[in-house]
Chain A
C-alpha cells in the first residue's frame, strides 16, 4: 500500500540543524510531488512548500525561505526537509504529504506520521 514513513523525533539546541526524512513506498516516487506541512504545538496546519520529485525543483511558501531546504534521494525514494539555525519557534511536528493530482483537482494523500522537532537549550 502507498505509505510515507518519516524519521523519528529530534531534540536539538538553538542554532543547530536537523534533517527529517520521508521514505515513500508502494508507488513510483518520481511520479508524485511531495509537500511539507508544519504543525506547531496546539496549532493548525501550515503549508511549507513542495518539491518536484521528477526534477528536484523545490518551491517554498512565504515564511519558509532561507533556513528551510527540501531535497531528494530518488534512489531510495526519500524526501528530506533540512532546517538550519534552529530557533525555539521551529518546535513543531513536520509532516510530508504526497500530492495527488486529477482532472477534478488535487489534494494531499497520504501523509507521513509526522516528526516532532523540539528546539530547546
Chain B
C-alpha cells in the first residue's frame, strides 16, 4: 500500500492527451513539491518533472505537471508510442521523514 495513490493503469491512442493523477495528504503533497519519474521497460527510472511543473532539459514539452492541494497530475499531450512506460510520483513526507512514492501507473499506447 503506497502512501501516494496513483491509478494502476492508463491508456490512450497516438496523438491523444492523457493525465495521471497522484493523491496524497497534508504531510506530503500538501506541504512539499512533487516529482515525477518515467521508467521505460527494463530500464532505470528517469526524472521527468521536478518541483511540481518543471521539466529537465531534454524532456519534451508534451509532458507537464501540476499540483493543487494534496493532489498532483502529470499530463502527456500528443501521445507517442515511446511514451509507453511506468510513471511514478514522489514527494517528501514530513510525518514519515522520508520520500514516498506512488504505486506507479502503467501507460499503454494503443
Q: What is the interface of chain A, defined by CB distance below 8 A to chain B?
A: 35, 37, 44-47, 49, 61-62, 95, 97, 100, 102, 104-114
Contact = CB atoms under 8 A, between A and B. Distances in A.
B109 interface: no
Contacts of B56: 109
30 contacts: A37-B45, A44-B102, A44-B103, A45-B37, A45-B45, A45-B88, A45-B104, A46-B101, A47-B98, A47-B99, A47-B100, A61-B99, A62-B96, A62-B98, A95-B44, A104-B33, A105-B51, A107-B35, A107-B47, A107-B51, A108-B90, A109-B47, A109-B56, A110-B47, A111-B44, A111-B45, A111-B46, A111-B47, A113-B43, A113-B44
Q: Max chain A CB contacts within 10 Å: which of B33, B96, B98?
A: B98
Contact of A112 (B32, B35, B44): B44
B54 A35 contact: no
Interface of chain A: mostly helix, strand, loop or mixed = strand
Contacts of A109: 47, 50, 56
Interface in B66-94: 88, 90, 92
Contacts of B101: 44-47
A108 B54 CA distance: 14
Interface residues of B, number: 26
Contact of A105 (B43, B50, B88, B102): B50
A49 B98 contact: yes
A111 B90 CA distance: 14
A100 B32 CA distance: 15
Q: Max chain B CB contacts within 10 Å: which of A35, A47, A95?
A: A47
B13 to A, nearest CB: 26
A106 B33 CA distance: 8
A70 to B, nearest CB: 14
A46 B88 CA distance: 11
Given A95-B45, A102-B51, 5 more contacts: A44-B102, A47-B101, A95-B44, A105-B33, A107-B47
Q: Max chain A CB contacts within 10 Å: which of B43, B50, B52, B54?
A: B50
